[in-house]
Amino acid sequence: MSETSVVEELSQTECWEELRVADVGRLAFAVVDEIHILPITFTIRGGHLYFLTEEGTKLLGVVMGSAVALEVDSHDDRLATSVVVRGTARLLPEDEAHLVDDLLTLPWDRPETPRYNVVQIEPTSLTGRRFARS
């Protein structure tokens, strides 16, 4: 980031790096005529993002309409970074879901809330920005 630049666009590689180190993201999706934004933990494999969910609003949003956005942020004393993934989500059938079982041990897993539904996000757009903090 240059001394005079306040906002820097991130490369695709930098966006993926930010996603890989993120602890949590915010998933945006529509259910009927309402927009929902909920926190999720996720993992990445082969250019796709995966998350687990129980029965409820997130799963309903995926099944009813597949357009989603995922946003992650990070910051320190000097810089703040934001990455947005836009794409389509789909519930994986059981014969595909087992292929990512090894990936789905996530930092915010709640053992008291079993989640068996594996959702895959296929990115169609990936953008990111880094901001100088004043």
CATH number at residue 79: 2.30.110.10
- Under 8 Å between Cβ of 40 and 89: no
What is the number of domains present in the chain?
Answer: 1
Least confident of 41-45, 61-65, 106-110, 114-118: 106-110
Of 40, 36, 19, the closest CA to residue 28 belongs to: 36
For residue 81, the model assigns a pLDDT of: 96
For residue 65, the model assigns a pLDDT of: 81
* Position 123 confidence tier, pLDDT thresholds 50, 70, 90: very high
The pair of structure tokens assigned to 119 is 């959702």
Q: Residue 1 falls within a domain, yes or no?
A: no
Give the distance from CA 21 to its chain's centroid: 11
H helix or E strand, kind and range, residue 82: strand 79-91
Q: 72 pLDDT exceeds 80?
A: yes
Q: Residue 84 falls within a domain, yes or no?
A: yes
Give residue 83's domain range.
7-132
Q: Residue 48 falls within a domain, yes or no?
A: yes
Predicted TM-score of the model (pTM) = 0.85
For residue 3, the model assigns a pLDDT of: 54
The pair of structure tokens assigned to 30 is 């529509």
The pair of structure tokens assigned to 18 is 């930010």
